Amino acid sequence: MTLTGLITRYVRKNWRPYFLAALMLASVSALTVFIPRHVGRIVDGLSAGRLDGIALIGQLGWLMLAGILIYFLRVAWRLQLFAASYRLGAELRTRLYARLCLQGPHFFHQRGTGDLMALATNDIDAVEMASGEAMLAGFDGTLTLIMVVAMMTLGIDWRLALAALLPFPFMAFAFWRISSHIHQASRDSLERFGKLNDHVQETLSGVRTLRALGLEARSAARLAELAESAASASLRAQRWEAAFEPAVGITLVSATVLTLALGGTLVWQGVLTIGALTAFSMYLGQLIWPMFAAGWVLSLMERGRAAWGRLQPTLDTALSIDDNGTRAERPVGAFRLEGVSFSYPGHQALALAGIDVHLLPGHTLGVVGPTGSGKSTLLRLILRQYAVNEGRIAWGAHALTDYTMDTLRQAISWVPQEPFLFSASVAENIGLARENATLAEIENAAALACIDQDIARMPQGYDTPVGEKGVSLSGGQRQRVAIARALLAQASLLLLDDALSAVDTQTETSILQHLQELRKASRDQTTVIVSHRLSAVMDAEHILVLKEGRIVEQGDHASLIALGGWYAAQWRYQQLQASLDAD
């Protein structure tokens, strides 16, 4: 869809405010062209000695009234029209946001956060301006132009009108050249602003790393370069926009010269009255607005078009995962992976190959293996962040893809190694998992995740703000807050992705014990624990050892120890390490 297509569709759908605004604009134009004609009559009346003092005041009263009416109508149509265009902006932002929320991690690997933020702000602003300001200026300008030209031609003298309009085609040509430059410059400017935003966002997120590596100066230099480049593109667009004004000026001066030359002759010949010539010059002055409007519309439309050219592909980017499932009931039964193989989009190497897993409801699966063996990838497939290449993942009687994403999100809780905390209180951060959770439920979840005592020691307890603007929590505390959040959700499937890595072994043991008690109580929470530390999985019913994307060993703790492979060696090593640490 083109920008014009988008705006047309929107105007058609919301025709009422646009129609009202157009109606008021038409009245404004009619009143505007009434003024010079009226002034012309006054001038002729005065020069013929037909107007006395009282009559003059009466005539001037009409002029004032027209002026006041114009004022109120202008305020009213602006309100109508801008309300409509702001709504389009809001609609586009909602669409963009909804789209971004559905995209998988692959999309965000490719697109910078700062650039996406620029799309949601700057680019949508530009489209909004095109659908509001440009529409109104275009309509108003065209209407005024038609009326003024009609008044000049039919109301005064067509020969004079022809002469006066002679320079206008040259102006149209100049406008056309200028607007194509504006398009290019706006596109550059929006793109460069996106890059600048990306850099600022990355720098702020990674400021500690930058400092630690002593890269501040380099980053600042890069920022200066990007800011300079964005500014120069904006300036280039501005410079071209500035060229509209002189073009209008030259046209107007030439038109005035032609008018006075021919008009003067006509007055001498007695064909035209002085009043008519006055009115004509005033009409010429009224053409300034349509001309400026044309320039303004062209530049707004070019800016809007450049922005829409960036926005539309993002809105249309295929979702990395399609949400075509229809089942909305909570999944029950065993969780199975059958011959699952997977490679990341754009990569040849298999991140997982031939994975078979059968996980009974209420059981715990441990997944261990060296770094890069595919443990996190396995969880990403269960979360449907990516689609499997081969094989099938099923939950109970149905494939995972049969369920709606929404259902799966509610049925599965996931705790990553580095969980994200929002700028809100501890209670709110835990409570996110379930709408309307009571404080008692939040406290209970916190106790299960062994974070309750830490919270009690915080300055404002559960109301203590955390996240970017609040108290800084240790890695282990963050992980436990995230676990409390996940437990509150009471999902059927709990995925822990090395979620206890920053918690000390003793606390880890108590959390795992709590999990086990919970499972005994409710029987149906199935858990997958990915861990570097084998102590986190030793009590699991089944343990997989992955290596280079394949299952190389599996069984329970005792059988894996007896097998004497990677697991047994790793276990001995970690036990030794633990006893050394204890000393």
Task: List residues binding ligand ADP (CB under 6 A).
Answer: 344, 347, 351, 369, 371-377
23's CB contacts (< 8 A; 6+ apart) are none
* Phi, psi of 15, deg, nearest 5: -70, -25
At its nearest, how many Å lie between ligand ADP and the CB of residue 369?
6
Using the minimum distance from each CB to ligand ADP, give the nearer residue, 195 or 550.
Answer: 550
At its nearest, how many Å lie between ligand ADP and the CB of residue 350?
9
At its nearest, how many Å lie between ligand ADP and the CB of residue 373?
4
Q: What CA dihedral angle connects 572, 574, 577 and 583, to 10 degrees?
A: -90
Using the minimum distance from each CB to ligand ADP, give the nearer residue, 351 or 445.
Answer: 351
How many Å apart are CA 244 and CA 283, to the nearest integer?
20
Please give the biggest Cα pair distance in the chain: 122
How many Å apart are CA 247 and CA 299, to the nearest integer?
14
How many Å apart are CA 260 and CA 278, to the nearest integer?
10
At its nearest, how many Å lie between ligand ADP and the CB of residue 549?
7
At its nearest, how many Å lie between ligand ADP and the CB of residue 500?
15
Strand ranges (E), 313-408: 335-342, 352-359, 364-368, 390-395, 398-399
* Phi, psi of 222, deg, nearest 5: -65, -40
How many Å apart are CA 393 and CA 381, to the nearest integer?
9
Q: In degrees, to the nearest 5, what angle opens at C-alpha 368 toward C-alphas 364 and 371?
A: 145
- How many C-alpha atoms does 229 have within 13 Å on its Cβ side? 16
Helix, strand and coil content of the chain, in percent to the nearest 5, comes to 65, 10, 25
At its nearest, how many Å lie between ligand ADP and the CB of residue 376?
3
Using the minimum distance from each CB to ligand ADP, give the nearer residue, 185 or 528.
Answer: 528
At its nearest, how many Å lie between ligand ADP and the CB of residue 497?
8
Using the minimum distance from each CB to ligand ADP, give the nearer residue, 149 or 351.
Answer: 351
Asked if 330 and 407 count as a contact pair (C-beta separation under 8 A), the reply is yes
- Cα separation of the two ends of the chain: 70
CB atoms within 10 A of CB 227: 15
At its nearest, how many Å lie between ligand ADP and the CB of residue 194?
23
Using the minimum distance from each CB to ligand ADP, give the nearer residue, 318 or 521.
Answer: 318
At its nearest, how many Å lie between ligand ADP and the CB of residue 374?
4
Using the minimum distance from each CB to ligand ADP, give the nearer residue, 171 or 412.
Answer: 412
Using the minimum distance from each CB to ligand ADP, give the nearer residue, 107 or 244.
Answer: 107
Rg (the chain; Cα; Å): 36
Q: Report residue 80 as tokens.
A: 């109508």
Strand 352-359 vs strand 335-342: parallel, antiparallel, or unpaired? antiparallel
Strand 390-395 vs strand 335-342: parallel, antiparallel, or unpaired? antiparallel
Using the minimum distance from each CB to ligand ADP, give the nearer residue, 375 or 480.
Answer: 375
At its nearest, how many Å lie between ligand ADP and the CB of residue 200?
24
Using the minimum distance from each CB to ligand ADP, give the nearer residue, 241 or 498.
Answer: 498
Using the minimum distance from each CB to ligand ADP, give the nearer residue, 40 or 374.
Answer: 374
Using the minimum distance from each CB to ligand ADP, give the nearer residue, 372 or 461.
Answer: 372
Q: Report residue 394 as tokens.
A: 């099923």
Sign of CA dihedral 280, 286, 292, 294: negative
Q: Is 366 helix (H, G, I), strand (E, B) or coil?
A: strand
Using the minimum distance from each CB to ligand ADP, give the nearer residue, 241 or 497.
Answer: 497
At its nearest, how many Å lie between ligand ADP and the CB of residue 313?
22
At its nearest, how many Å lie between ligand ADP and the CB of residue 106?
7
Strand ranges (E), 243-389: 335-342, 352-359, 364-368
